[in-house]
Structures are given as C-alpha cells and as structure tokens.
C-alpha cells in the first residue's frame, strides 16, 4: 500500500478545467503526485511548483518508482505514459484510476 492516495491528492490539488478552487495549486494528475512528494520532502517553492506541476512521463515514472518501490520500473514507465496521455486527452477519471493502480501495483 502506498503512502499516497488519489483521494487525498484530489482534495489537495486543482486538476482539470472544472476545478476552480483558487486556493489549490493547478497541476496535471501526475503533477499532483510529484508536488505532494516534494511538499513532504522539502516544502513547495515557486521554483518547485513550476518544475513539477506538469511533469513529463519520464519524470513521473521516476516519482512513481519512489512512491511504489514494489513495482518494476518498466511497468511504472508504462503507467506514467498512460497517465500522461489520458491527462492530455482530458480523460481525467481514467488518469486518476491509472495513478491509483500505479501506486498500488505489487509486481
């Protein structure tokens, strides 16, 4: 089980065009995980927010590997690519589901 839950990320970060809470940081689905991990490790600065809010699939895979060390890196890269693509296509529910799977995969 991962230390990160999709439900908590959704409550904390603003993802997608229908999320209008100005008190939350705007980011992609993968960015929510990256920002949360960085927030816990060192706090969020403007530089970190700009770097991690919309990560590439490769960067997201690196964060997934830290968040879920039980899963192989190749599979996590596949998840990261799928999360990135689903987010880019506006399929946010699918992207969140994929992130949840990647965080809890035990392969």
Delimit the domains of the chain by residue range: 6-104
Q: Which residues pair with 26 in a beta bridge?
A: 14
Whether 63 and 50 have beta carbons less than 8 Å apart is answered as no
Helix (H) or strand (E) holding 61: helix 57-67
Tell me 15's DSSP state. Answer: -
Least confident of 11-25, 44-58, 75-89: 11-25
Predicted TM-score (pTM) of the model is 0.90
How confident is residue 2, by pLDDT bands cut at 50, 70 and 90?
Answer: confident
């Amino acid at each position: 089980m991962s230390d990160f839950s999709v439900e908590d990320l959704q409550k904390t970060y603003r993802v997608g065009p229908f999320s209008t809470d100005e008190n939350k940081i705007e980011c992609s689905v993968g960015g929510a995980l990256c920002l949360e991990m960085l927030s816990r490790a060192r706090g969020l600065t403007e530089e970190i927010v700009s770097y991690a809010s919309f990560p590439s699939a490769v960067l997201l895979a690196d964060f997934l590997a830290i968040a879920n060390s039980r899963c192989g890196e190749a599979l996590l890269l596949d998840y990261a690519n799928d999360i990135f693509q689903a987010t880019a296509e506006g399929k946010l529910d699918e992207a969140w589901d994929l992130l949840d799977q990647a965080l809890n995969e035990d392969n």
